[in-house]
Chain A
């Protein structure tokens, strides 16, 4: 018998038996129960489930916002939780390794498109000119450079979400967490945004985890994790992806 070994890249996100509960005794609510999953570079993964199934909690835990109750989390090869937070500077970790995309884009209303992207680089210590150059480059990459001076209030939903994606990519993160990234968009624009995310994952070797209810974009995901009552129920590999 011949066994062929295929070299697989190390997963960027490793979640092993992670649980999270709120409250104690009678008031205890198990938001996550022994959830384990891995996401490799270049993969675009969906977290699916009804309301209260633990999708956003899982996203918060992976994004180092919420401390899990137990389990083990490794991000880009770095153990960040193993019964307790191991990485004390979680803010710096988020800045270096994780990019966030929000349902309502969450652009800072007092900054124009370029500065909304550049602000992440400023926080990371980039010089102003360098931050601006990289921001314009990203806006151009996401085909929204023509709106570089526009304030968020004047952007369309699709444009705002593309600026938000540019902001998420600003600091070269390898893990991108998206919370309902297409919920506020029509199907055409939702498709464009998902294609952009797939392009980012492929070209920048990033892992993308998105919480979604949006059935019209299911075919854009490589894998779909189904959550129910805090537990990972099934995993579907997308045959269309």
Chain B
């Protein structure tokens, strides 16, 4: 006869309500882990999309994602001529905010050279950019439709293709435009500013500037050798793809990772305290029954089993409900939530451990119950 199961069945409504409350808490913990994973994945998606081996940026910077990087537009030709480089492309990256149909939209604009590395890797709807000007490929998260026109800077761009899952580390959807369009967006002065520059005798700025050059390296040549070659130019810095990913995860998302990690740890501690309090209260409610059980000959093992089994049932059921809840609603989060099985299993193990430790308070109370309290009024 399983006393824990019978007690749960007898107070099923209360048990389910408690589990639901716990599931919300554990759901938040799980979503925090998922948000962190999403943050890293988002950041890495952008750096992995070009599918290149080498990144060349401005000397003294770790750009283009960690820091601002500006290099001359013709750097691409220089890199393309290095031994082992199969293809190279100039790219720009910038955040932009615009108004569209009365709403403010934020995009992460990637400029690339058509036919060269740096563009979108997969178009899920429509086509890639075919014209040299005023076409764009947008991510689905931008909520733009094919053929829709949107103003960026002083020009209107037409959406010709859609990607999926392309967002920046800040969560903004990525849009791809041609390098020339992006250079004008980023570097061309507005007419009043340009007129002022001419009036003070300074020529308007050269817009042939880029943020980075990305390069495919021949499979027979180590990427490191190309990096070493590129670094010989004193105005350039270069990293491999792995190095660029490391920069992103260790510096760009590091603070967010720590923040979320700390928040997750606090939530787990709160969960532990709440589980302990729930179990303590559940035990307090059963003191007379526990005293009766002891009086009629129940061993300490039976009493501990009763409390521990209920704690585990509550933890496992609460976790399962929380995981189901977050899996169902994760797509409605403004940031990507990536739920990985190993994270779920790790949290489940932590929850079980927390339940066992938290039940200690209830077990201690139960073991101290004097069987004599069952006698008398």
Contact = CB atoms under 8 A, between A and B. Distances in A.
Contacts of B293: 108, 119
A60 B131 CA distance: 96
Contacts of B334: none
B375 A110 contact: no
B372 A167 contact: no
Contact of A66 (B292, B372, B374): B372
A134 B30 CA distance: 50
Interface string B349-377: 00000000000000000000011101111
Contacts of B375: 56, 59-60, 63, 65, 100, 102-103, 179
B74 interface: no
A118 interface: yes
B374 A106 contact: yes
A95 B297 contact: yes
Interface stretch (A68-76, A120-128, A221-229): A120-128
Contacts of A183: 377
A109 interface: yes
A110 B297 contact: no
A159 interface: no
A120 B292 CA distance: 11
A92 interface: yes
B376 A103 contact: yes
Interface in A64-109: 65-66, 91-92, 94-95, 100, 102-104, 106, 108-109
Contacts of B7: 110
A106 B374 CA distance: 7
Contact of A115 (B1, B298, B370): B1
A196 interface: no
Interface string B272-301: 000000000000000011001111111100
B1 A65 contact: no
**For A60, A66, A110, A179, which residue has the most chain B Cβ atoms within 10 angstroms?**
A110
B1 A103 contact: no
A94 B298 CA distance: 10
A142 interface: no
B297 A109 contact: no
B297 A56 contact: no
B207 interface: no
Given A110-B11, A118-B1, A123-B302, A65 B296 contact: no
Interface bin, chain B: 20 to 34
Interface in A213-227: none
Interface string A32-75: 00000000000000000000000010011001011000000000
B6 A115 contact: yes
A110 B9 contact: yes
B101 interface: no
B297 A91 contact: yes
A56 B376 CA distance: 7
Contacts of A119: 1, 3, 293, 296
Contacts of B302: 123
Contacts of B6: 110-111, 115
B10 interface: yes
Interface in A130-181: 131, 151, 167, 171, 179-180
Interface string B285-325: 00011001111111100100000000000000000000000
A106 B288 contact: yes
A119 B298 CA distance: 9
A100 B1 contact: no
Contacts of A115: 1, 6
A66 to B, nearest CB: 6
B303 to A, nearest CB: 11
Contact of A180 (B294, B297, B377): B377
Contacts of A102: 292, 374-375
A103 B296 contact: no
Contact of B374 (A92, A100, A110, A131): A100
B280 to A, nearest CB: 19
